[in-house]
Amino acid sequence: MFELAKSLTQKLQQGISIIETVEILRELLRYFHVSPAQFSGTWHPYGFLVIKLYTAEESGTTLRLHIWPKEARTRQIPDWPVHSHPWLIHSRILCGTITNMIYEVEENNPKSSCRLYTVKYSNNLSILEATDIKVSCEIASSESYILGQDYIVNSKQYHVTNVQENIFASTIVLTTKPTDKLPNVVGEFGYKQTYCFERRICEPHILKLLIEQLESNLK
């Protein structure tokens, strides 16, 4: 499994086709049925499943599988979707339709009711801590992507990724080594100073079901 995941990471960086991507991923997922203990998934606060497949020690690049179940998705409360990352994200659509929205966020806007929260991680917790930085937040672009298409979210760029309800979707994702800057979430004034969201471990039978659904949707 390790060598296949490493190979897929390298080939994605080289720009392989969606056909080859799916072929390697299918082979990789066969290992789940042989040795499921090698796979684990956690629920992201925005309602999708994250399965980490590989991390390159030299570069810090990670390979992840993201899955949006068709069923109801549990999201963080308060649900503030506009956020940034301290790493570049390169996503390729495996199935379903993904809409990625880019936002312009400007700091020190005295008339705004929005404020930045920084995000820190502790074990399986995402910890949002309020800052005193007022920001304006306006959508700059919105584009939807389907099977085989790629999209990139640059480091420090604010975005929202949406998958409509009752749609099963999945992406294979490369992320670069994070910078020293913390990720941010655009929240609001009038809320608590700190929020902690648990990144719950996906139960084995749910993980099995979602991987089987992914396999049946891969084309």
**What global pTM score does this model have?**
0.95
Give the type of residue at 115.
Answer: R
Q: Give residue for tokens 């820190």.
A: 120
**168 with 104: CB under 8 angstroms?**
no
pLDDT in tens, 35-53: 888 899 999 999 999 999 9
β pairing state of 98-107 and 125-145: antiparallel
For the chain, the average pLDDT equals 95
Run of H or E residues at 132: strand 125-145
**Model pLDDT, residue 110:** 82
Tell me how far apart the alpha carbons of residues 186 and 117 are, in angstroms, rounded to a whole number: 6
Structure tokens at 96: 């379903």
**Model pLDDT, residue 148:** 97
Look at residue 46 and give its three-state secondary structure: coil
- Domain made up of 2-217: CATH architecture: Sandwich (2.60)
Q: Quick one: how many helices (H) and strands (E) in the chain?
A: 3, 12
pLDDT in tens, 78-121: 999 999 999 999 999 999 999 999 999 999 888 889 999 999 99
**Model pLDDT, residue 136:** 95
* Domain extent listing, the chain: 2-217
